[in-house]
Amino acid sequence: MTDIHIQNLTKRFGETIALNNISIDFPAGSFTSLLGPSGCGKTTLLRLIAGFEAPDNGAIKFDEELIADAHRQKTPEERGVGVVFQSYALWPHMNAAENVAYPLKTRKVAKAEIASRVETVLDSVSLGGFANRRIEELSGGQRQRVALARCLVADAKIILFDEPLANLDMHLRASMIEAFRDIHRRTRATIVYVTHDQSEALALSDRIAVMHAGNILQIAPPVDVYHSPADQRVAGFIGRGTPVSGTVVERHAASALVDVGGYRLSARGVVNGSSHVQLLLRPEALSLADKGLPAKVQDSTYRGAIYETRLKLPNGERLTLDSAAALPAGTTVHIAVTDAWIIPD
């Protein structure tokens, strides 16, 4: 297992700052997702760790070894890093086993050992019977497993994933998420996983780094990023929660009583400044009640297990409620709130 240390890293492309003096550590054996919208810098950070780009300022270290800074850097081949791309990056003229064996052949490993290691690693990604299949004969999910096996056969201590599931359908993504989790449990490799899909990040990671415009907004376990976002941008990007305005009535050490449109509710978080706050209310924390926050139904959309219902508060702000049945548009309802988060200013 290998630690990755990123210190004051900056990367520019012309006048565009892709990464803005960021620092982040990836502990040995951790699974960290870099999550954010397109253009936020997550793929640039991954490419810098892999050695495909050079930093303009700052440094990258593996354990205590300097890997790259503004003056020098090790080549990708010298870093011992495995990369799984969105496009798979497989040789089309080779079969599955030959693709997996390629890194070992470049290291002049003995043929018998190559055959044994390839067979073992293909079994580990559920491709034991596919060694002689050509790449065009494999499904998208199977190709992704070949790309993963190629990393594993080389005993990579660091594995980088660049949006690996973007080209797969919903069912294949679900099976590959389980495969990635299983591989991490067994190898304990340090994994950095780039995605713009928050459901992938929440399901896979033990930490999520939320990025925006070349900066890291929050680094925390998935449950903290979801339930206690660091600011308005994280709150708006993660989940379906809605910020609503409130006025603090009572302050406590780690909570407050907040008035929202005449309805008082308890909210988690610290109020340091103004009594006017923004609360994050998620659909799963809302339910219909005889007494509660008044709202008017705008519309309901069927989502399979639930109806996603949009509500309008008296002050014009909107909420999303998950309900068991469609609610008629224009109906006035009352909403009970079981959890609210005071979004840090």
CATH number at residue 21: 3.40.50.300
Answer yes or no: do 219 and 276 share one domain: no
Instruction: Give per-residue pLDDT as tens, 275-288.
Output: 999 999 999 999 99
Answer yes or no: do 318 and 263 share one domain: yes
**How many structural domains does the chain have?**
2
Least confident of 6-20, 117-131, 171-185: 171-185
Instruction: Give per-residue pLDDT as tens, 173-184.
Output: 887 888 888 888
Answer yes or no: do 109 and 246 share one domain: no
pTM of the model: 0.87
Instruction: Give per-residue pLDDT as tens, 135-156.
Output: 989 888 888 888 888 888 888 8
Contacts of 155 (CB under 8 A, 6+ apart): none
Closest CA relative to residue 204, chosen from 236, 182, 172:
182
Query: Which tokens sit at 91?
Result: 């040789």
Answer yes or no: do 208 and 303 share one domain: no
From 232, 249, 282, the end of a domain falls on 232
Query: Which tokens sit at 132?
Result: 């002689």
Answer yes or no: do 228 and 247 share one domain: no
CA distances to 124, 188, 194 from 182, rounded to whole Å, are 9, 10, 18
Answer yes or no: do 226 and 266 share one domain: no
**Which amino acid, 169?**
D
Q: Which pLDDT belongs to residue 33?
A: 96
Answer yes or no: do 74 and 150 share one domain: yes
Considering the chain, what percentage of its residues have pLDDT values greater than 70? 100
Answer yes or no: do 228 and 248 share one domain: no
Q: Which pLDDT belongs to residue 1?
A: 67
From 210, 232, 254, the end of a domain falls on 232
* Euclidean distance between CA atoms 24 and 317, whole angstroms: 36
* pLDDT band of 69, cuts 50, 70, 90: very high
Answer yes or no: do 215 and 312 share one domain: no
Q: Which pLDDT belongs to residue 149?
A: 86
Domain that holds residue 41: 4-232
Answer yes or no: do 12 and 59 share one domain: yes
The whole-number average pLDDT for the span 285-296 is 94
Q: Are strands 16-26 and 4-13 parallel, antiparallel or unpaired?
A: antiparallel
Average pLDDT, the chain: 91
**DSSP characters for 265-280?**
EEEES---S-SEEEEE
Answer yes or no: do 227 and 246 share one domain: no
From 202, 232, 262, the end of a domain falls on 232
pLDDT > 90? residue 170:
no
